[in-house]
Amino acid sequence: MVVGSAGEEIYTDLCAQCHGVSGEGGIGPSLSDPGFQNANSDQEIFDTISLGHAATAMIGWGEILSTEQIQQVVEFIRTLESAPISGPTPTPGPVSFSADVLPLFDSECAVCHGNLGGWDASTYENVMTSGNNAPVVIPGDPENSLLAQKLLGTHKEGQIMPPSGQLPDDEIQVVLDWIADGALDN
């Protein structure tokens, strides 16, 4: 049995909840993305882990983890490789909630918008009826649907969703097309 490194264990216990098990991102940015890997020195990554990032939800771990532990996490982050992005598979005809939209919500939204309160992305009924500002989807009207506004960054309050940055255009288009086609439970 191969046991992971101490950095990997710390990452799995503390970091994966926001940055994804493989560093693919979630609440926090992708750490496996080549752009992130190339734009940040080991010292910058170390400092962010230690001190946190004031403009985000990233807390400072410097009072919890030792310098050696943070360095081990940095070394593990450097081993993460970006996997090919697998977005929704286009289907001929109208966009399908179950085949196209729900898998996107599962991979991009459910980490924050599960069944713990607020908007819930786990089922069609919950997508259509949950949230403090429900309905967030107005069938046939993407322009006035809060979900579309949040994905596009056009909503006047709050921030773009997901907080880690705007989804790729093709994924947003799947949601917009689904709403425009009547937001069917298909």
Residue 177: the pLDDT is: 92
For residues 170-182, average pLDDT? 91
Q: In this structure, which topology does domain 6-77 adopt according to CATH?
A: Cytochrome Bc1 Complex; Chain D, domain 2 (1.10.760)
Q: In this structure, which topology does domain 97-180 adopt according to CATH?
A: Cytochrome Bc1 Complex; Chain D, domain 2 (1.10.760)
Higher pLDDT: 65 or 93? It is: 65
For residues 50-69, average pLDDT? 89
CB 101 within 8 A of CB 95: yes
Summary count for the chain: helices (H), strands (E): 9, 0
If one counts every other C-beta atom within 10 angstroms of the C-beta of residue 146, the result is: 19
> Would you state the structure tokens that stand for residue 40, as one six-digit string?
């940040």
Domain with CATH 1.10.760.10 in the chain: 6-77
Closest CA to 165 of 29, 17, 14: 29
CB 126 within 8 A of CB 120: yes
pTM check: above 0.75: no
Q: Is the pLDDT of residue 180 over 80?
A: yes
Closest CA to 181 of 64, 70, 58, 97: 97
